[in-house]
Structure 1
Amino acid sequence: MPLVRIKSLPFKQDVAVNQALSALSEAISNAGNIEERHVMVTWEYLSKSHYIHNGKVADYQSETAHPLLVDLVAPNFNTEEEIAQMLELIANTIAGSIPISKENIFINFTPAYSDGVYDEGHVIEWDI
């Protein structure tokens, strides 16, 4: 059930965000041996001038400034090593898919708990 939410400023140039999302979904599915139907990835654009970093406001996404903001929500049964691997996978896949430096990506992990997720019409309980 990994959920990846990405936020960025709009890009000045054309960027194939849909291809980046597809690549990320497939990479997470393959790496975690998770059916892709259980992987969710979104990308939202922040409004111009609505993101300040390092004391500066920007209108457009830069390769090296105003980091992409990424939230990863995944089950809490993952080990620290597995979480670190997911974070690296996400950063590498994004940086390989769009014009953004890997060093300009900020990812936050939030654990999801058994009986704390509603999906496919019911509350999910981990079978571990």
Structure 2
Amino acid sequence: MPLIRIKSLPFAGDVEVNVALSILSQAIADATQIPQQHIMIVWEYIPAGHFVHGGQLANQQPSNSHPVLVDMVAPNFNTEAQIAAMLELIATSLSRTLPVAQNNIFINYTPAYSDGVYDDGHVVEWES
């Protein structure tokens, strides 16, 4: 684990989201020493006309408004510094590989708790 869920409006033109996700997954693995098989990243598009930010409706993903929305779920045993580093890494990686400004990425961290995650065929338990 972590599980990273990303949502954005559709991009104008050809944007290789799959490449951006692969780069992000590798960057997380390298920075955290978490094996790739434990990193999950999902990208979903918000339908055109279904995202209002600052009172404005958008149909395509702008670079500097209507932030790309990211939810990261990771174990609660991570320190505040580790969580902050992962948040920064996600924002930096996405802004380098996609046509979106780093200050136009919103990331929320949700802690996962021991005995609160089902993975690999069982409830996962860890020491705090």
Same fold (TM over 0.5): yes
Distance 2:13 2:67 in 1: 17
Q: CA deviation at 1:18?
A: 0.1
SS, match of residue 4 in structure 2: strand
In the other structure, the counterpart of 1:112 is 112
Q: State the TM-score, normalizing by the size of structure 1.
A: 0.98
Query: Which secondary structure state, in structure 1, belongs to the residue aligned with residue 47 of structure 2?
Result: coil
Q: Which amino acid aligns with 2:28?
A: I
Tell me the distance in 2 between the aligned counterparts of 1:23 and 1:58.
27
Aligned to 1:26: 26
Q: What is the 5 A alignment of 1:13-92?
A: 13-92=13-92
Where does the alignment leave 5 or more consecutive residues of structure 1 unmatched?
A: none
Q: Deviations over 1:7-60 (max 9, x none)?
A: 000011110000000001111111110100000001000001000000000000
Residues 69-107 of structure 1 show CA distances to partners (whole Å, capped at 9, x for unaligned) of: 000000000011110000000000000111100000000
- Structure 2 residue ranges without an equivalent (≥5): none
Amino acid at match of 1:48: A
TM-score with structure 2 length normalisation?
Answer: 0.98
Aligned Cα root-mean-square deviation (Å): 0.7
